[in-house]
Structures are given as structure tokens and as C-alpha cells.
Amino acid sequence: MDTTFSKEDLEFQQEVRTFIKENYPQWLRDAIKEKTRTGQEFTKDEVTAWHKILGKHKGWSVPGWSTEYGGPGFTATQKYIFQEEMAKQDTLMVAPFGPVMCAPVIMTFGSAEQKEKFLPRILSGEDFWCQGYSEPNAGSDLASLKTEAVLSEDGTHYIVNGQKTWTTMAQHADWIFCLVRTDPNAAKHDGISFVLIDMASEGVSTKPIELISGASPFCETFFDNVRVPVSNRIHEENKGWSVAKALLLHERTMLAETSRGAGNVQERRSLLQVARDAVEQHEGVIADTSMRNEIAQTQMDTMCYEATLQRTMEAAKAGQGMGPEGSMFKLYLSELNQRKADLRQRMNGANSLIWDGEDFNQEDKEITREWLYGKASTILGGTSEIQLNIISKRVLGLPD
């Protein structure tokens, strides 16, 4: 995006650029390239290495945190520059579950002890987190969740039983933040609590779910009589829905920002790069006027999205989510990304059918896998239909 930066911002941009160049490990770059091409899963070392490096440097692992909690206290423009530089140098995205989703609700709803216990380890990357919201019969209708937490006789622990699903990277996680039912007799939104569960606890197990793109980054997560200290509950018992909603706002803001963030898997090769290659490889495709119009339109839509996002983030208070308006960004971006992935596929012609095999071009394989993976973006973090419901009720104020 063409943004006019101040002298200080340009210096900061140079600092970030140099830091990434000098510190982003080549072994990680090679591993990601290889695994994107083959659809293999990342190891825990791979998903946490960059987080740990950034955590040792001015709190850069948590660009949205204020200095009060050890974050860098970036301005909106600095955060923008930071994310853009990460994207330009194609670094792996720091997994958001701890830094961007769980930490802000600990800051808002947690006790002093909880902040002290969990936040520094989230910043440093020592603890890797996952999200235990969805269940087999509770996705869009999240408040129907059934995983139960019953208080032990001495009142010190919850005994948790149940199942979560689509738990991204649960196989690597040290901790999971979970919504559990603590009052089965209350109205469904009222009987929920928000608890933090150590994945090493006895009775926690995970089972991988394989995706169409070949990778298996998700798990079903099971809780079988898991003892969770009551001190791991965030906020009051049965008031977990307020925490859950606050976290979802942070999640949607994060999803909106991934348009420019590092690790935007659908953008490893930009539309324009693919178009340029298409001129060389499949001149027929690019000679088609409607295809050229579509490329230009999609590129303009991307720039408009970026500019609107930037304006909105500058208006938002540092460290806070966007509010229900975040749903508009989530909806638009996920659908825009799918359009782009689809367009890249069509520009790539017959090469789009390439899936595997040593003789084929690596980037063609990436485009195909990313196109398939992109199908998930209109589902994760709340489906497009759910975003439309939120926009109509909470942004436009339309009746039920």
C-alpha cells in the first residue's frame, strides 16, 4: 500500500527489515517451503521458533500488546509496518492463539496472579496455546456446547469431561483455553465458564483430522475426567460467555489483519506475480480481456480493503479489537482471498492440476494446495453466514 510514513516510521521500517533479514532462520524458511509444497505438517519447533526469537527482542512476538505487559506498545502505523515487513520477507506467522486471542482476555478478565502466571510465557513462546471452542454439535451455535466441568467435592478443581473438535495444532499445544458448561440447568449462554487447561493433564488426548489439502493441522481433543484447578478459570463461574465473545472479537480483528500479515498462506505468490508468469507461460489466458479486467479489479479490491483496514485500525485504540465491525472485514477478506486463489488457479491453466511429483514446478503445487486450503477461510472464526448475521444485528441494528 502506498502510505506516507514519517521519518521515525521509516527508521522503524528499516530496523524491522534489518532485524528480520539477520534473524529469521534459513532452516525455517527452507522447511516451510518444502512443507507447503508437499502438504506435510509443521513440527512444534517450526511453529514456535520465530515466536521465541521475536519474544527475546523488545516483545516483538506480541505486536498488539502494550508496554505494561512487556509488549512493544506499537502505534497503529508501527504495527502496520511491522506486519507488512513480515509479509514482504515471507516469515511464518506467529500462532495467534496465545498472543492475540487468549492473552487479551486474560488482560481484561484475569486476576493479577493469572496475568503473572500466563502472560510472560505467552510472550516468550514457552507455552504454545490452542483454542477449545467448537464441539461436534456446537460450531456456529457455540453456546450449545456440552463439555461439562463439575466442581470437585473440596471445591478446588473442576472435573472436565467432553470433546472439542477442529482444535488447530492441539497436537503441539501446551495449553488450551476452553469453554465448558458449569451449569447445565441455566439458559445456554448463562451456564458457561472459560477455563485454561494444561494439555499435559491426565485425561487429555488428541486425535488428528486430515484435510483435503493433505495436511493435518487439526485435532479432535478429548477430556476424560481431567482435573483443572479452579484458579485456572478466567472471570466468574458461569460468566464465560462474555469472555468467549471478547475473544472472538480479537480473533476476527486478527483475521482481518492477516491480509497484510506474515504467513498469509494464500498470498505466498501474489496475484500480480502469477499474472506476470502467466504472460510468459500461457499467453492465451492473459490475452483474454475479461481475465485482465478481473485481475485489475481484484487488485483494486485488495488495495481498497487494505486502505479501509488501515484507516479503521488507526481509529481503534491500541490493543483493542474492532468490535462487531470486525465481522465486515472478516467476511470481505475471506471471500476476497477465495476469489484471488480461484483467479490464480485459472491463470495457472493446466498447471493448476499439479498436486505432487518431483518433476513439477514447486510453485504450481503451492498454488493448488493453497487454493484448496483457502476453502476453510469462510468457515474458520465463524462462517460467512454467521458474519452476515452479526453485521445485520449488531452493526446495522436490524431486528431478529
Query: Of 158 and 166, which CB lies nearer to ligand FAD in the complex structure?
Result: 166
Q: Is residue 386 within the footprint of ligand FAD (CB under 6 A)?
A: yes
Using the contact rule CB under 6 A, the part of the chain among 32-40, 88-96, 360-368, 383-391 near ligand FAD is 383-391
Q: Which of 48, 61, 77, 134 binds ligand FAD (CB under 6 A)?
A: 134
> Given the rule CB under 6 A, which of 51-59, 117-125, 364-372, 375-383 is the region that contacts ligand FAD?
375-383
CB closer to ligand FAD out of 95 and 275: 95
- Binding residue for ligand FAD, selected from 25, 120, 139, 203, defined by CB under 6 A: 139
- What are the distances in angstroms from CA 69 to CA 63, 64, 86, 117, 122? 11, 11, 23, 12, 11
Please tell me the distance from the alpha carbon of residue 324 to that of residue 207, in angstroms, as a whole number.
Answer: 34
Q: Scanning the structure block, which residue is given the C-alpha cell 502472560? A: 119
Residue from 128, 133, 305, 371 binding ligand FAD (CB under 6 A)? 133
C-alpha cell belonging to residue 74: 506499537
383 binds ligand FAD (CB under 6 A): yes
The Cα–Cα gap between 42 and 93 comes to: 12
Q: 59 or 217, CB closer to ligand FAD?
A: 217
> Is the distance from CB of 93 to CB of 243 less than 8 angstroms?
no
Q: What are the Cα distances from residue 310, in Å, to 86, 241, 246, 275, 314? A: 16, 30, 22, 26, 6
Nearer to ligand FAD, 124 or 392 (CB): 392
Interstrand relation of 175-181 and 129-132 (parallel, antiparallel or unpaired): parallel
Burial class (CB in 10 A: 0-12, 13-18, 19+), 270: middle
The pattern of x and - marking residues 72 through 111 that bind ligand FAD according to CB under 6 A reads: ----------------------------------------
Q: Is 355 helix (H, G, I), strand (E, B) or coil?
A: coil
Shortest approach of ligand FAD to residue 263 CB, angstroms? 14
Q: Decide: is 389 part of the binding site for ligand FAD (CB under 6 A).
A: yes
User: Which lies closer to ligand FAD via its Cβ, residue 246 or residue 354?
Assistant: 246
- 364 CB-near residues (< 8 Å, 6+ apart): 348, 351, 352, 354
Per CB under 6 A, 255 contacts ligand FAD:
no
- d(C-alpha 201, C-alpha 193), whole Å: 19
Contact range with ligand FAD by CB under 6 A, out of 71-79, 182-190, 236-244, 381-389: 381-389
- CB of 130 or CB of 354, closer to ligand FAD: 130
Site for ligand FAD in 160-219 (CB under 6 A): 166-168
For 72, which DSSP code? -
226 is an interface residue for ligand FAD by CB under 6 A: no
First to last CA, the chain: 39
Note the residues at the interface with ligand FAD (CB under 6 A).
130-134, 139-140, 166-168, 376, 379-380, 382-383, 385-386, 389
